[in-house]
Amino acid sequence: MADSSTGTFRVACVQMEPHIGETAQNIERSSALIAEAADNGARIIVLPELVSSGYVFHERSEVEAAAENIPGGPAVSAWADVCRAKGVYVVAGLPEAADGAFYNSCVLVGPEGHVGTYRKMHLWNEENSFFAPGDSGFRVFDTPYGRVGMIICYDCWFPEAFRACALDGADIVCVPTNWVPIPGQAPSERAMANVLCQANAHSNGLYVLAADRVGVERGQEFVGQSLIVDHTGWPLAGPASEVDAEILYAEISAEAARAGRTWNPYNDPIRNRRPDAYESLVSAPSSTDDGRES
Amino acid sequence: MADSSTGTFRVACVQMEPHIGETAQNIERSSALIAEAADNGARIIVLPELVSSGYVFHERSEVEAAAENIPGGPAVSAWADVCRAKGVYVVAGLPEAADGAFYNSCVLVGPEGHVGTYRKMHLWNEENSFFAPGDSGFRVFDTPYGRVGMIICYDCWFPEAFRACALDGADIVCVPTNWVPIPGQAPSERAMANVLCQANAHSNGLYVLAADRVGVERGQEFVGQSLIVDHTGWPLAGPASEVDAEILYAEISAEAARAGRTWNPYNDPIRNRRPDAYESLVSAPSSTDDGRES
């Protein structure tokens, strides 16, 4: 599948509410929603972060009970079954068990089975108590619909993540996520997570498909507002509800994204980069409040 | 001035309309508006890109007539005079003549005179016919009010530019700009240039002070909508008018930006970076439509 098709096709972001401790039911429910989106014509379908397990772990044993080896575990097997039956691709999050560690991972699964895995590189808050930092780097995979990258939730706060996908030729970045409220959000303002998706879609000339969860789990609120962003940075569908389950749909085209990156005879946001001036992005130590360079 | 003060102070973005071919008048007018903003309490004052010259050059001789050596030329000298008289800092854009080339530059000027120069690293469209690509890299300068970085207009499309400033300890990024309309902008949506400023302010935990021009010059429309963005990513002032001259004011604090980067015991958007996974940002060749890696 070295060549990517370039026609217009439908994508979906499944906003839903997983329940912690109910892994089998979460897998069954997510599989049913994938089938629904597929029946409605979607060919790439994105589901939330940790959709098979829920998010708010209190004990390591809870992670262990929900985590699986990839591929071959129950969630990826179930999703692959639906992908095979419906001829679709799915990106969805799950806890991965590998080499004695757990990762907050997501998979790309298609009619041919498991295509690739991404292990979350930037961990949020208490995830650090249960998951190892990702070691997959940012990988982009060929599908018949275009080149697909994957990042998860807090990764959106790092434009480097989107850029690394773009530099590897991504037409689409799928974002399984569990966005939590951000202090200072004014009701009149679009959610900052959405703003980040828009900015990075625009700056890289690629689609962003963000599927969030909803609900309150063990006191932790999630904000919904799943979003499908055009390669120009403008929303194609959503933001979805802040509280209700919902499936977003939009029509996209990898060819349109590729053509759209040529803004005029001089300008393309990828080709115009100045790597000669970006050295600090890979060499600088992290800045600290008490140890800044002067 | 190795130590930066941390108190709250006022900043201003001067949205105005320079006129091509009227360099002396542009300098006089910009100096008067700096004085006005200073009299209203602003201590860091940002003006548009190429504010001394106007933007739409048709002939190289027009650039030559408006460009100056830095420091010592008429614009920087005039601005330094106001800074000295009023005790303020100014960031403003002008065409720079140096070593037989012209640069689309901006300066940081203070009561002590010229502090630093930034030469636009990412050139937009026909600027390529008149200006050499910047060679200054992204530099951050100490002021009594915090560490100040500068980027210009199209640089905002490159999150690497904001990030490089952040990694050098910037509390504030000043953006002299001449934003032009972007195709696909829906009237109900905030301008994409504003979205980019918000996303990068938030992702880096720093203030963004963007001063745009207004007016139509030789058929080229400019979009105004200057913006002062809090370190959280939310607008503090603006977006300003799309067509009228206007001065935006807001109160900011470098200390608040620094403290605000600690989101919880685990997370800080600078410290949580994964440079080990960003190597492609400095090593990958620019992606092209016909030469993508598979």
Chain B contact probe: residue of A163, A185, A208 with most B CBs at under 10 A: A163
Pick the residue from chain A with its C-alpha nearest to B142. Answer: A294
Which helix or strand (DSSP H or E) is residue A199 part of? helix A192-204
Chain B residues whose CB is inside 8 A of the A147 CB are 292
Nearest to A273 among B158, B186, B189 (CB): B158
Q: Is B10 on the interface with A (CB under 8 A)?
A: no
Chain B contact probe: residue of A162, A267, A293 with most B CBs at under 10 A: A267
- pLDDT for position A191: 96
Contacts of B205 (CB under 8 A, 6+ apart): B166, B231, B257, B258, B260, B261, B268, B269, B270
Query: End-to-end distance of chain A based on CA atoms, in angstroms?
Result: 51
Query: Could you tell me the two tokens for A281?
Result: 């992005």
Nearest to A280 among B2, B122, B168 (CB): B168
Minimal Cα–Cα distance from A94 to chain B, Å? 22
pLDDT exceeds cutoff 90 at B5? no
pLDDT exceeds cutoff 90 at B75? yes
Do the chains contact at A160 and B273, CB–CB below 8 Å? yes
Do the chains contact at A184 and B279, CB–CB below 8 Å? no
Query: Could you tell me the two tokens for A267?
Result: 């300008």
Contact A88, A34 (CB under 8 A): yes
Do the chains contact at A200 and B195, CB–CB below 8 Å? no
Which helix or strand (DSSP H or E) is residue B165 part of? helix B159-167
- The predicted model scores a pTM of 0.95
- pLDDT for position A188: 84
Query: Could you tell me the two tokens for B55?
Result: 């933007």
Q: A8-272 — its CATH code?
A: 3.60.110.10
Nearest to A282 among B267, B275, B289 (CB): B275
- pLDDT for position A284: 56
Chain B residues whose CB is inside 8 A of the A275 CB are 281-284
Q: Is B181 on the interface with A (CB under 8 A)?
A: no
Chain A residues whose CB is inside 8 A of the B2 CB are 294
Q: Which of B13, B106, B153, B174 is catalytic?
A: B153
pLDDT in tens, chain A (294 residues): 334 456 999 999 999 999 999 999 999 999 999 999 999 999 999 999 999 999 999 999 999 999 999 999 999 999 999 999 999 999 999 999 999 999 999 999 999 999 999 999 999 999 999 999 999 999 999 999 999 999 999 999 999 999 999 999 999 999 999 999 988 788 888 999 999 999 999 999 999 999 999 999 999 999 999 999 999 999 999 999 999 999 999 999 999 999 999 999 999 999 999 999 999 999 855 443 333 333
Q: Which of A68, A86, A96, A120 is catalytic?
A: A120
Tokens 């939330």 belong to A48
Q: Which of A49, A68, A96, A127 is catalytic?
A: A49
Do the chains contact at A286 and B271, CB–CB below 8 Å? yes
Q: Give the domain ranges of chain B.
A: 9-283
Q: Is A122 on the interface with B (CB under 8 A)?
A: yes
How do strand A89-98 and strand A42-46 relate by DSSP bridges?
A: parallel
Nearest to A277 among B138, B271, B278 (CB): B138
Q: Which of B120, B127, B156, B197 is catalytic?
A: B120
Q: Is B278 on the interface with A (CB under 8 A)?
A: yes
- Residues 200-219, chain B: which have Cβ within 8 Å of A? 200, 202-203
- pLDDT for position B188: 84
Do the chains contact at A198 and B200, CB–CB below 8 Å? no
Of B278 and B294, the one with more pLDDT: B278
- pLDDT for position B289: 38
Chain A residues whose CB is inside 8 A of the B200 CB are 159, 199
Tell me the CB-side half-sphere exposure of residue B136, using CA atoms within 13 A. Answer: 25
Write the pLDDT tens digit of every residue in B193-215: 999 999 999 999 999 999 999 99
What one-character DSSP code corresponds to residue A73?
A: S
Which helix or strand (DSSP H or E) is residue B249 part of? strand B246-252
Contacts of A99 (CB under 8 A, 6+ apart): none
- pLDDT for position A4: 47
Q: Is B267 on the interface with A (CB under 8 A)?
A: yes
Do the chains contact at B282 and A287, CB–CB below 8 Å? no
Give percent above pLDDT 90 in chain B. 91
3-class DSSP state for residue B224?
A: coil
Write the pLDDT tens digit of every residue in B105-124: 999 999 999 999 999 999 99
Nearest to A184 among B123, B167, B232 (CB): B232
Contact A139, A91 (CB under 8 A): no
Phi, psi of A164, rounded to the nearest 5 degrees: -60, -40
How do strand A227-229 and strand A235-237 relate by DSSP bridges?
A: antiparallel
Query: Would residue B49 show up in a list of annotated catalytic residues for this protein?
Result: yes
pLDDT exceeds cutoff 50 at B96? yes
For residues B97-107, average pLDDT: 97
Query: Would residue B174 show up in a list of annotated catalytic residues for this protein?
Result: no
Chain B contact probe: residue of A203, A208, A253, A276 with most B CBs at under 10 A: A203
- Residues 67-96, chain A: which have Cβ within 8 Å of B? none
Residue B182 pLDDT level (bands cut at 50, 70, 90): confident
Pairs of residues, one from chain A and one from chain B, whose beta carbons lie less than 8 Å apart: 213
Q: Which of B17, B49, B68, B96 is catalytic?
A: B49
- pLDDT for position B291: 36
Q: Is A270 on the interface with B (CB under 8 A)?
A: yes
- pLDDT for position B187: 80
Minimal Cα–Cα distance from B140 to chain A, Å? 9
Ranges A179-183, A223-227, B15-19, B221-225: which has the least confidence: A179-183
Select from 2.40.30.10, 3.60.110.10, 3.30.930.10, 3.40.50.300 the CATH code of B9-283.
3.60.110.10
Ranges A182-196, B69-83, B160-174, B243-257: which has the least confidence: A182-196
Query: Would residue A64 show up in a list of annotated catalytic residues for this protein?
Result: no
CB atoms within 10 A of CB A3: 8
3-class DSSP state for residue B45?
A: strand
